[in-house]
Amino acid sequence: MNTVVYRIGEFIQDQRIANQWEYSTVKMMQTFQHHVAVFGQAKDLSFFDAAGIDRFVAYLRQEAELQEISVRKNYKNLIWFLNWAVRKGYLPREKFLPNKQKFKIVQKPVIFLKREELLRIYHYKVPPTGTIVTLRDLDGREYTKRVKGSAAISRARDLFCFCAFTSLRYSDMAKLCRSDIDRDYIYVTTQKTHDRLPIDLNSFAKAILDKYADRHFKGNRALPVMTNQELNMYLKHLCELCGLNAPVRIVKYCNGQRIEEVFPKWKRITSHCARKTFICYALSIGIPPVVVMKWTGHSDYKSMKPYIDIASDEKTSAMRLFDRMLEAADPY
């Protein structure tokens, strides 16, 4: 029996209960456990001295061929697990002296919809199933696409837009009940942070709720929820139909090699982009970060900084446009 793999299983069960892990955290740790099992060299905990940890990190890069961000995540999970093993008395503390690791991590771009893109999606009338539409790719070449699942795409549009107009995560939107709605507010106990937040409803969010007000959904839900996987799939169809094909450049490192890829924007849209859209737009029109944080539930400015930086860029672009308009009208 591989003692390390067994102990990781014990660690998962112990911490899952003690820290009330979400399902996503359990899956992440099970993936880490799988990597250790496939690695195979660590039969017992004594393997993980500084050299053993280095060998595991090298395996993740060279044989598992993970991206650098995934290598770092698994390294942190290993350190988390080994600290637990020390506390449990399974590993002498003097054996646990990891070398400092360096990771080449490139900050991913914050992908969000600009105002005109969000409104284009909000007002888009999805063609009936079977309709063939003509679209353009990144290089401007025309291609055709047959619409499939028109009703599901329309639902995905409404769910995404509701999140974009309220800042809700998918998990919180999916649990929203009619009893959580009080005229101009919704009250949400977030799944991630367990905070109870009152969120103001704007007219766009109200219109979406009104659209489904007379329909009954299981559990007295307020909206016609689909799984997050389904939502992400139909969102990509929707955004492709709406022509959201601006280039998005993704830079990453894998085994020391820099890799650059360019995608049309619609391929990178997920349900979480709705929340990012709300934050970026709210900041760009001048709503103070402290107010935005009350809606989103962010607890510190560090997590808001990428959005604040984007909002600053948006404001700069807007001011340049303002300058050009004034200069064009200036008779002097």
Task: Report whether pLDDT(297) > 90.
Answer: no
For the sheet with 196-200, list strands across it: 181-182, 185-189, 196-200
The residues of the chain that CATH labels 1.10.150 are: 3-95
Task: Report whether pLDDT(173) > 70.
Answer: yes
Task: Report whether pLDDT(1) > 70.
Answer: no
pLDDT at 252: 85
Task: Report whether pLDDT(194) > 70.
Answer: no
Q: What's the pLDDT tens digit per position in 223-280?
A: 999 999 999 999 999 999 999 999 999 888 888 888 899 999 999 999 999 999 998 8
The per-residue b/e assignment along 297-325, b for 16 or more CB within 10 angstroms, e otherwise, is bbeeeeebebbeebbeebeeeeeeeeeee
Domain 3-95: which CATH number of 1.10.3470, 1.10.150, 1.20.1420, 2.20.25? 1.10.150
Q: Of 188 and 141, which is predicted with more confidence? A: 141
Q: In this structure, are strands 142-146 and 132-136 parallel, antiparallel, or unpaired?
A: antiparallel
Conformational region of residue 143, where left means phi above 0, alpha means psi within -120 to 50, and beta covers everything else? beta
Secondary structure of residue 103 in the 3-state scheme = coil
Q: Angle 213-216-222 (CA atoms, 0-180°, nearest 5)?
A: 55
Q: How many CB atoms lie within 10 A of CB 153?
A: 21
Secondary structure of residue 47 in the 3-state scheme = helix
Contact present, 99 and 50 (Cβ < 8 Å): yes
Mean pLDDT computed over every residue of the chain: 87
Would the CA dihedral through 285, 289, 293, 296 be positive or negative?
positive
Task: Report whether pLDDT(119) > 70.
Answer: yes
Q: What's the pLDDT tens digit per position in 79-88?
A: 999 999 999 9
Residue 310 has which token pair? 């984007």
Q: Angle 135-136-138 (CA atoms, 0-180°, nearest 5)?
A: 145
pLDDT at 313: 56
Among 46-50, 126-130, 288-292, top mean pLDDT goes to: 126-130
Full-model pTM: 0.75
Q: Of 20 and 301, which is predicted with more confidence? A: 20
Share of the chain above pLDDT 70, in %: 87
